[in-house]
Amino acid sequence: MTKALVLNGPNLGRLGRRQPEIYGSTTHAELAELCVGWGRELGLDVEVRQTNHEGEMLDWLNAAADDATPVVLNAAAWTHYSYAIYDACAQLVAPLVEVHISNPHQRPEEFRHTSVVTPYAIEVIAGHGIDGYRLALERLARR
C-alpha cells in the first residue's frame, strides 16, 4: 500500500464546533476515520494529522519531501500568507493535492482568494465539504 499524508492546519482540530454553517458538523476525529477508510478502499495507507503550529507542519512537509510521500494539504489560514509553507511545498517530489472544505474564492474576505499552496498542487479541490478529502485521496490514488 502506498503511504499518503492528510495534513490539516490551524483551527481544523475544531471541526464540528467551529462555524458549522461553513465547515459542517463532522469532527476532526470523524474526518480522520473517514480518510483512513477511503484510503484503504483506494489502496492508500493514510495518516491524518492536524496542528496549530506552523513549524510542526513544516517538519511534516519536509519529511514528506524526503520520503516522497504524497500529501493532501489543507493549510487553512496558512494557505493565504505563509511563505514558509510555500517553500516547503516547493520541495515535495510526490503529488500534492490542496483541499478546502469551503470555497475560499466564494468567501467574502479578500485575503482568502490567494493561495501560496496552489502553485505546487496537482489539483485544488474546494467547496465540497468533507467529501473534498475523499476526492483528493481519489486523485492521489489515480496518480
Is 87 one of the annotated binding-site residues? yes
Q: Spell out the residues 6+ positions from residue 118 whose beta carbon is closer than 8 angstroms to its own.
A: 98, 124
Q: What number is the average pLDDT over the span 109-136?
A: 89
Is 80 one of the annotated binding-site residues? yes
* Annotated catalytic residue 105: no
Residue 134 has which C-alpha cell? 475523499
* Annotated catalytic residue 28: no
Residue 114: its pLDDT value, please?
78
Q: State the DSSP string of 49-89.
A: EE-S-HHHHHHHHHHHHHHT--EEEE-GGGGGT-HHHHHHH
Residue 112: its pLDDT value, please?
63
Which of 23, 86, 120, 133 is labelled catalytic? 23
Q: If we measure between CA atoms, which residue out of 71, 26, 23 comes closest to residue 49? A: 71
Q: Can you list the domains of the chain with their CATH numbers?
A: 2-142 (3.40.50.9100)
Q: What number is the average pLDDT over the span 74-99?
A: 96
Phi/psi class of residue 19: alpha, beta or left (left: φ > 0; alpha: ψ in -120 to 50)?
Answer: left
pTM to 2 decimal places: 0.93
